[in-house]
Structure 1
């Protein structure tokens, strides 16, 4: 009988390493599915759902499971959500470039810009982890925004996860392809526990 702490014969790392491996596989699959950029919300939402099943039912996750789940979750509402996400990111980037180019009051504007970007990232990740994201992004975003303010501990944990992912991707750019997996796991964990 296999338990959470015993190793099967021939198994190198044991069952606790399986979740880590699944997070990396889901992260790579999410990065590949996000390459068209408009599919980022659907890809992250699917990653949260796949990792949620992995943790709740202790069933291994594969790239094939992820692709099947993504195919089943893609709908017409995902493209406007992706376009909205791209527009928000473009607006933040434009404002950051303007602040860096000598915008009057940039010293006060930069912290506000970082706070807005952090809040938007937290709301986006919370929305992806919500089950409503499979049917209505508007409902998922509304409840995620409410939870981001009402449950500040979970929001702080997600903000730290985003900051850590950004630093890791900045320090070693190939890690950017693995970042969606841990961010999805963090979003899923804060949704259920914080």
Structure 2
């Protein structure tokens, strides 16, 4: 199998989402490490993950995937909107955790409440993750969330893939704690691929 590196302007093979640089999985893992470190303050999780997705998406334009480029792009995003998005995401996660805890406390109707809370929580997680993969997240979180909420319902298969990607990342981190600092890279790659896939499907439907 040929390993020739094509120039950024060369045509990709049919069905190939990303260019050949994506085969350098070490780059994805380095993005995972810096993303994990950037997520440590918690309120920076949306900005950190969406920056990782943006760096990976730019491979299609021939740009390199490096930790240095990630850090440079993340520094440009130190704005109130990103921190506000992180605060909302953190508050939502805590609320869902509290609801699940209450449902398991033996309250009347707890099982039904747990199911409802689980469905709402899963939908919120899908919307949040798909928002990070959308290009709009770099400038306008509200537009990114609106688009992700629409895509989450329209593209049920893609939403299922998002949950599977998250489950795989969590499972890897649970099995071996050091992998928690690598998991954000493959997760961001999966989210970006799902979003690009959705763009391709939408383009074919409207063509």
Displacement after TM superposition at 1:23 (Å)? 1.5
Q: In terms of mean alpha carbon deviation, does 118-127 or 137-146 score higher?
A: 118-127
CA distance in 2, matches of 1:72, 1:148: 29
Is 1:53 aligned to 2:61, yes or no?
Answer: no
Q: In the alignment, is the contact (CA less than 8 A) between 1:100 and 1:106 conserved in 2?
A: yes
- Residue 73 of structure 1 aligns to a residue whose secondary structure is coil
Q: CA deviation at 1:113?
A: 2.4
RMSD between aligned residues? 2.2
Tell me by how many angstroms 1:171 deviates: 2.4
How high is the TM-score relative to the length of structure 2? 0.81
Match of 2:168 among 128, 140, 164: 164
Shift, 1:154, TM fit: 1.0
For 2:127 and 2:106, the matched residues in 1 are separated by: 30
Query: What is the TM-score of this pair, normalised by structure 1?
Result: 0.86
Residue 73 (structure 1) aligned to one of 73, 77, 94: 77
Partner residue of 2:27? 22
Cα deviation for residue 158 of structure 1 reads 0.7
Distance in 2 between residues matched to 1:88 and 1:146, nearest whole Å: 19
Q: Structure 1 16/33 Cα, relative in aligned 2: closer, same or farther at 3 Å?
A: closer
Unpaired segments ≥5 residues, structure 1: 6-13
Alignment size in residue pairs = 184
**What's the offset of the Cα at 1:16?**
6.5
Partner residue of 2:44? 39
2-structure distance, mates of 1:68, 1:24:
17
**Matches of 1:29 and 1:91, distance apart in 2:** 28
- 1:90-149 deviations in whole A, cap 9, x for unaligned? 101111221222232222232322222221111111111111111111111011101111
Match of 1:10 in 2: none
Moved more, 83-92 or 153-162: 153-162
